[in-house]
Amino acid sequence: MDWVRQSLGADWMAFENILKTALDTPHALLTTIDQYILNRPGKQIRPALALSAAGVCGTPGPLSHAVAAIAEMIHTASLLHDDVADNAQTRRGKESVQKQFGPRAAIMLGDFWLARALQILIQHNGTHLLPLYANVIEDLSEGEIFQMEKAKTLDITLADYYTVCKKKTASLFHVSVMSGVLSVPNSSTTETYRPFLSRAAYHMGMAFQIRDDLADVTQDLAEAKITLPLLGALRQAGDERFRPQVILWIRSLEKEDLTAHDQLISFIKDHKGREYAQKVFNHHKEQARERIGHLPNSVWKECLLTISDM
């Protein structure tokens, strides 16, 4: 990602400047928590996607820098709320905001970042992009609620799982890219490249969430979240036959029965659930790279290829 940031050069710096000033406030507590977050920024994939997509379609300008910041701000707001929903103790290797400053502050700060993101849009004359943002915030919330519902009923199917990934992750990847595309003056090149960029964004988002779920399978099971490694194992073992047993294990795990944890992990191992998830991940990654391959050679295309090579 360092290479991507360096390649994006002045455009990356302009994005960072907007992000810094977007959060200016006279309130000491807000400033303290903002700094706490900005000191551990994460990979900032979404702004990199927005700026690269803008570069593919034309010359990135102030609105491109703004949409990059908006994508990162919406993402941060959603994580602030997600950590409250998941009661997460850590984020990006340090205490989560909700752990360090309390869940109320985390929720309010998420609202504040969301509001400031919309202010940035207005300041940069980007209100024609408002429908994109209204849709994506709706998708993020629906994806999260749907996942919560399924963590209660434990009847999530593979199709449901892909719906959750699409709504809670691929949607913002998609809007990051499309807002980048729409931030440069419309041209015939934009029309040509738009479908490739759109599909690439979707597949990168799906791949990204599946990779995250492969890394977090133990933690997710502890939260009764059934993700692709377990769904893949169920698919290969026979869902109808094994689901009741899996549900029993998850219920026991909720009561902190550690043998149930080991049994679930063995089940995933025996029925090659990780391998299943890895295959789906590879599929999305390849699909993304195939679409990016259709774009004209440029540093922006190289940035997209680097991001997709995760």
Q: How far is the CB of 67 from ligand FPP (least distance, A)?
A: 15
Q: Which does 98 bind (CB under 5 to 8 A by kind): ligand FPP, Mg ion, none?
A: none
Which residue lies nearer to ligand FPP by CB, 8 or 88? Answer: 88
Which residue lies nearer to Mg ion by CB, 148 or 265? Answer: 148
Which residue lies nearer to ligand FPP by CB, 184 or 277? Answer: 277
**Around Cβ 285, how many Cβ atoms within 10 Å?**
20
Q: Which does 14 bind (CB under 5 to 8 A by kind): ligand FPP, Mg ion, none?
A: none
9: region left, alpha or beta (phi > 0 left; psi from -120 to 50 alpha): left
Q: Strand pairing partners for 90?
A: 95
Q: How far is the CB of 160 from Mg ion (least distance, A)?
A: 18
Which residue lies nearer to ligand FPP by CB, 46 or 194? Answer: 46
Q: Which residue has the tokens 């900005």?
A: 38
Q: How far is the CB of 86 from ligand FPP (least distance, A)?
A: 6
Closest CA to 218 of 281, 144, 162, 269: 269
Q: Strand pairing partners for 95?
A: 90
Interface positions with ligand FPP (CB under 6 A): 74, 77-78, 81-82, 85-86, 88, 110, 114, 137, 140-141, 144, 168-169, 212, 216
Whole-angstrom Cα distance, residue 251 to residue 259?
Answer: 12
Q: How far is the CB of 203 from ligand FPP (least distance, A)?
A: 16
Q: How far is the CB of 144 from ligand FPP (least distance, A)?
A: 4
Q: What are the respective helix, strand and coil percentages of the chain, to the nearest 5?
A: 80, 0, 20
Is 207:288 a contact under the CB 8 Å cutoff?
Answer: yes
Whole-angstrom Cα distance, residue 150 to residue 155?
Answer: 6
Interface positions with Mg ion (CB under 5 A): 82, 86
